[in-house]
């Protein structure tokens, strides 16, 4: 690690956020705080409240919070005192966070904020402006990875196999419903999947088996975003792989998501309603090899950095593989797919955090090599 002498790495964790994945983010932040080696890191919690305001806590020395509630910092209650199981007291003193003061207080930041305003490049942009190294994907790859339509365009350009799709704007749908549905029936047929381009967590996604259901699905998706995606349905197994690195990439083992419900929706994902993860996935060698290869190509096509989980559909009957999506800030509790895939590949949860922090510092340093003023060259 880039520790100078005995100096610890001052790690900021940004969590919470203005999205439906707020609670998941809290759980992730808690897991990371508990996993990092206190001899190597000093953690500062940075909480983004549901309304979007930021609250920075005091650096956590001593006992770590062991209850999610301790992480809900509030500017109105300047000191939250949390009695821990051991009877020791933890004071998480909070104050309104000034982003630009962060680069004096933190060496590196781990933004564990999912969904819109989290993994869509907005937080990444703030961290670029503040000139702080941060874990994960940069602005462009985050933004492209968040927009299913744009992501598919990049995959197509890179020649990656994917399901047939139609991208459209809400305004097109509102102006000519029948034209839009005619086009979808002609190009894709039924069943098809309708998705808002920008949500994640299966929010606003519906399967349509006929024109009536298609109309409903488009109406629902159009409530969430102005950009919509409709895809052909594939009867397939859902396989996922982790990618770790900046330019030299490591892939994890392949895992499978086995959803008891018709598709892997929000309930299944976060309430664990009958969803099983199978790690490693029981698939032929050529399938996992192809997945690793395509995952790296997708990561590079987006100019990824740090981490991504790349999701696939595998039509077993026809042995056809399709890339579904790249998640640039995948679920990251110790029981989430991404960390478990790397655990199975021999990289423990705390090692994974170490590697990600290191990659963040390296990428920031590499960027620092860029000449900003051409006159410097003369
Ligand atoms: N084209 C498709 N064919 C079959 N199932 C699909 C298709 N697209 C999505 N699904 C199902 O819906 C789930 C959520 O879709 P996905 O595009 O991964 O959205 P999210 O970004 O919310 O994870 C998938 O995990 C899968 O179960
Ligand atoms: Mg998905």
Distance CA 145, CA 152 (A): 9
- Nearest residue (by CA) to ligand 1, atom 13, is 264
Beta strands in the chain (DSSP E): 9-16, 41-48, 54-57, 79-83, 89-96, 108-112, 165-169, 192-196, 206-208, 227-232, 237-245, 249-258, 276-278, 306-315, 320-327
Q: Does ligand 1 lie within 6 Å of residue 44's CB atom?
A: no
pLDDT of amino acid 54:
85
Place of tokens 């509790």: 333
pLDDT of amino acid 79:
37
Give the mean pLDDT of the chain.
87
Q: Which atom of ligand 1 is nearest to the CA of 233?
A: 3
pLDDT of amino acid 355:
98
Check: CB of residue 169 under 8 Å from CB of residue 218: no
What CATH architecture is 9-134?
Answer: 3-Layer(aba) Sandwich (3.40)
Q: Does ligand 1 lie within 6 Å of residue 264's CB atom?
A: yes
Q: What is the DSSP letter of 377?
A: G
Cα 310 to middle of ligand 1, angstroms: 13
- Write down the CATH number for the domain with range 164-232: 3.30.1490.20
CA distances to 36, 97, 202 from 103, in Å: 20, 12, 35
pLDDT of amino acid 69:
81
Which tokens is 238 given? 């859902």
Which tokens is 28 given? 């992730």
pLDDT of amino acid 90:
37
Q: Which of 8, 48, 24 is nearest to 335 (CA)?
A: 24
Q: Which residues of the chain have pLDDT under 50?
A: 1, 77-97
List the chain domain ranges. Answer: 9-134, 164-232, 237-366
pLDDT in tens, 69-98: 888 887 654 333 343 333 333 334 444 445
Q: Does ligand 1 lie within 6 Å of residue 327's CB atom?
A: no
pLDDT of amino acid 330:
92
pLDDT of amino acid 115:
72
pLDDT of amino acid 99:
57
pLDDT of amino acid 98:
54
Q: Does ligand 1 lie within 6 Å of residue 267's CB atom?
A: no
Residues paired with residue 243 on neighbouring β-strands, in sequence order: 251, 308
CATH top-level class for 237-366? alpha beta
Q: Which atom of ligand 1 is nearest to the CA of 232?
A: 1
pLDDT of amino acid 157:
98
Per DSSP bridges, beta strands 79-83 and 41-48 are unpaired
pLDDT of amino acid 254:
98
């Amino acid at each position: 690690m880039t520790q100078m002498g005995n100096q610890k790495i001052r790690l900021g964790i940004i969590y919470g956020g203005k999205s439906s994945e707020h609670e998941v983010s809290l759980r992730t932040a808690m897991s990371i705080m508990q996993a990092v080696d206190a001899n190597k890191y000093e953690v500062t919690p940075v909480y983004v409240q549901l309304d979007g305001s930021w609250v920075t806590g005091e650096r956590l020395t001593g006992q770590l919070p062991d209850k999610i509630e301790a992480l809900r910092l509030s500017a109105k209650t300047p000191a939250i005192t949390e009695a821990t199981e051991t009877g020791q007291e933890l004071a998480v003193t909070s104050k309104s966070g000034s982003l630009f003061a962060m680069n004096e207080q933190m060496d590196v930041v781990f933004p564990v904020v999912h969904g819109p305003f989290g993994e869509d490049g907005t937080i990444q942009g703030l961290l670029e402006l503040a000139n702080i190294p941060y874990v994960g994907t940069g602005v462009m790859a985050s933004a492209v990875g968040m927009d299913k339509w744009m992501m598919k365009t990049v995959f197509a350009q890179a020649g990656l196999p994917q399901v047939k799709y139609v991208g459209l704007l809400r305004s097109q749908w509102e102006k000519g419903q029948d034209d839009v549905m005619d086009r979808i029936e002609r190009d894709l047929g039924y069943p098809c999947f309708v998705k808002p381009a920008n949500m994640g967590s299966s929010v606003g996604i519906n399967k349509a088996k006929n024109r009536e259901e298609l109309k409903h699905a488009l109406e629902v998706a159009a409530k969430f975003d102005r950009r919509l995606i409709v895809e052909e349905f594939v009867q397939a197994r859902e396989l996922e792989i982790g990618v770790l690195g900046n330019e030299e990439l490591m892939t994890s083992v392949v895992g499978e998501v086995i959803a008891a419900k018709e598709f892997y929706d929000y309930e299944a994902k976060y309430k664990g309603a009958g969803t099983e993860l199978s790690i490693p996935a029981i698939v032929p060698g050529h399938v996992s090899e192809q997945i690793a290869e395509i995952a790296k190509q997708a990561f590079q096509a987006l100019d990824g950095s740090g981490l991504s989980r790349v999701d696939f559909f595998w039509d077993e009957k026809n042995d056809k593989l399709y890339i579904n999506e790249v998640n640039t800030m995948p679920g990251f509790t110790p029981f989430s797919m991404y960390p478990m895939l790397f655990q199975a590949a021999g990289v423990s949860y705390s090692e994974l955090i170490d590697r990600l922090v290191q990659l963040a510092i390296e990428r920031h340093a590499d960027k620092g090599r860029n000449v900003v003023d051409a006159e410097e060259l003369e």
